[in-house]
Amino acid sequence: MSAPLLAVENLKVTFPSPSGPVDVVKGISFSLGRERLGIVGESGSGKSMTGRSILGLVRAPGKVSATRLEFDGMDLLKQGEKAMRKIRGARISMVMQDPKFSLNPVMTVGEQIAEALVAHKRLPRREIAARVRAMLEAVRINDPDRVAGLYPHEISGGMGQRVMIAMMLIPEPDILIADEPTSALDVSVQAQVLDIIDDLVRNKGMGLILISHDLNLVAHYCDRVLVMNSGRLVEDCAASELKNAQHPYTRGLLAAQPRLDETRDELPVIDRTTWSAT
């Protein structure tokens, strides 16, 4: 593997509270090459904040600090708002959880995808239309010309999420951050959306950060898995090695999931006292 696209060292995200500052991300380090990295954790583990801090999207009063937060040789923490805007979308982009709240309700799908492209590149109108069409086809929308003219309320959740992916990938970024991209979708649509992300990421040789609470899903779609718990990395392993995970929290998460061929009378519950004593 070549030099990492993204290097993170000792990343901290801090929010003030009445009883003093609280670290929601407590100094984590990882690097990302052109590979698929999964970040798993439960609510409040800091996984989404990790994703957001890379893009400079942690809002005040939240504070991001790190010994190193480097993307392609650039120090992301030193970039101004204007420079960050050039990176967001064009170089690193993010797919959010719920298409219902992330798409603009008063713009057609085609216009929104074109906007994502035009914001970063000046292109002749005909080429824009062609690229939008090609992108919609790439996310397996059968009838791209018709769908481009529809408004977000006229399309289904799965299609909405595919439109989001089209928007995020049309400027051809180096890294795609997908924050729970399928948790608002039905099981049958989930696999389809993830397959599309997987396909596009592999073909374009991009880096992917897939943030999710679903261990199985991450293990299936990623090369490497990070497990987070209350702001710390507790496990960093190859996806294929996940079932041999050592940390009690990871093992607890794996065991707490009901299985299809369930025979256990009771599900093991994570004993929060054993591992949080830090």
Q: Which of residues 145-184 bind other proteins (CB under 8 A)?
A: 157
* Distance of closest approach, residue 215 Cβ to other proteins, in angstroms: 8
Which range of residues in 3-11, 119-127, 145-153, 213-221 is near other proteins by CB under 8 A? Answer: 213-221
| Near other proteins by CB under 8 A: residue from 220, 246, 248, 276 | 220
| Near other proteins by CB under 8 A: residue from 138, 208, 209, 219 | 219
The C-alpha atoms of residue 58 and residue 51 are separated, in whole angstroms, by 9
| Near other proteins by CB under 8 A: residue from 248, 267, 274, 276 | 267
Binding-site size, other proteins (CB under 8 A): 37
**Of 19 and 43, CB closest to other proteins:** 43
Contact call for residue 17 and other proteins (CB under 8 A): no
Contact call for residue 252 and other proteins (CB under 8 A): yes
| Near other proteins by CB under 8 A: residue from 139, 169, 210, 253 | 253
Which range of residues in 73-81, 134-142, 187-195, 197-205 is near other proteins by CB under 8 A? Answer: 187-195
Strands (E) across the chain are located at 6-15, 22-32, 36-40, 63-65, 68-71, 74-75, 92-95, 175-179, 207-212, 224-229, 232-238
Which range of residues in 49-57, 85-93, 102-110, 234-242 is near other proteins by CB under 8 A? Answer: 234-242
**Of 27 and 157, CB closest to other proteins:** 157
**Of 133 and 251, CB closest to other proteins:** 251
Q: What is the DSSP string of 147-193?
A: HHT--GGGS-HHHHHHHHHHHHHTT--SEEEEESTTTTS-HHHHHHH
| Near other proteins by CB under 8 A: residue from 213, 232, 247, 251 | 213
Phi-psi region of 56 (alpha: psi -120 to 50; beta: other; left: phi over 0): left
Contact call for residue 207 and other proteins (CB under 8 A): no
| Near other proteins by CB under 8 A: residue from 262, 273, 277, 278 | 262
The C-alpha atoms of residue 241 and residue 244 are separated, in whole angstroms, by 5
Contact call for residue 259 and other proteins (CB under 8 A): yes
Contact call for residue 240 and other proteins (CB under 8 A): yes
* 223 closest CA partner among 34, 75, 89, 42: 34
Q: Are strands 63-65 and 74-75 parallel, antiparallel or unpaired?
A: unpaired
Residues 250, 227: contact at Cβ < 8 Å?
yes
Contact call for residue 1 and other proteins (CB under 8 A): no
Residues 178, 208: contact at Cβ < 8 Å?
yes
- Six token digits for residue 34: 């052109």
Cis peptide before 248 (omega within 30 of 0): no
The enclosing H or E element of 45 equals none
Binding residues (CB under 8 A) for other proteins: these are 42-43, 157, 186-191, 213-217, 219-220, 239-240, 242-243, 252-253, 256-270
